[in-house]
Amino acid sequence: MPLKFYIVDVFAEKKYAGNQLAVFTEAAALSTEEMQQIAKEMNYSETTFILSSQERDGGYDVRIFTPAKELPFAGHPTLGTAFILQHAIIQQPVETIVLNLKVGQIPVAITYRDRRPDILTMKQRPPIFGDVVTAATIAPVLNLDIADIDSRFPIQEVSTGVPFLIVPLKTLATLKRIKVNVDRLAEVVESLQAKEVFVFCPETRNPANHFSARMFAPLLGIAEDPATGSANGCFAGYLAQHNYLESALVDVRVEQGYEIGRPSLLLLKAQKQADIIEVSVGGNVILVAQGEFV
Per the annotation, the verdict on 46 as an active-site residue is yes
**Cβ-contact 231, 164 below 8 angstroms:** yes
Q: Give the pLDDT score at 88.
A: 96
- d(CA 171, CA 33) in angstroms, rounded, equals 43
Residues 110 and 99: their CA atoms lie apart, in Å, by 13
Which of 26, 41, 46, 203 is catalytic? The answer is 46
**What is the predicted pLDDT for the residue at 115?**
84
Residues (pLDDT < 70) of the chain are none
**In whole angstroms, what is the distance from residue 117 CA to residue 96 CA?**
11
pLDDT at 248: 80
Residues in a beta bridge with 59: 56
Alpha-carbon distance values, 169 to 69, 201, 203, 205, 206 (Å): 30, 5, 10, 15, 18
pTM score, two decimals?
Answer: 0.91
* pLDDT one-digit tens code per residue, 174-206: 999 999 999 999 999 999 999 999 999 999 999
Rg (CA), the chain: 18
Contact present, 285 and 79 (Cβ < 8 Å): yes
Task: Tell how far CA 18 is from the center of its chain.
Answer: 11
Question: What would the pLDDT profile of 54-97 be if each residue is shown by its tens digit?
Answer: 999 999 999 999 988 999 988 899 999 999 999 999 999 999 99
User: What pLDDT does 250 receive?
Assistant: 97
Q: How far apart are CA 85 and CA 110, in angstroms?
A: 12
Residues 140, 144, 149, 155: is their CA dihedral positive or negative? negative
Residue 283, H or E segment: strand 276-283
- The predicted pLDDT at position 114 comes to 87
Q: What is the DSSP string of 194-226?
A: --EEEEEES--SSTT-SEEEEEEEGGGTEEEES
Structural contact between residues 162 and 230, judged by C-beta atoms closer than 8 angstroms: yes
CA distance 169 to 144: 10
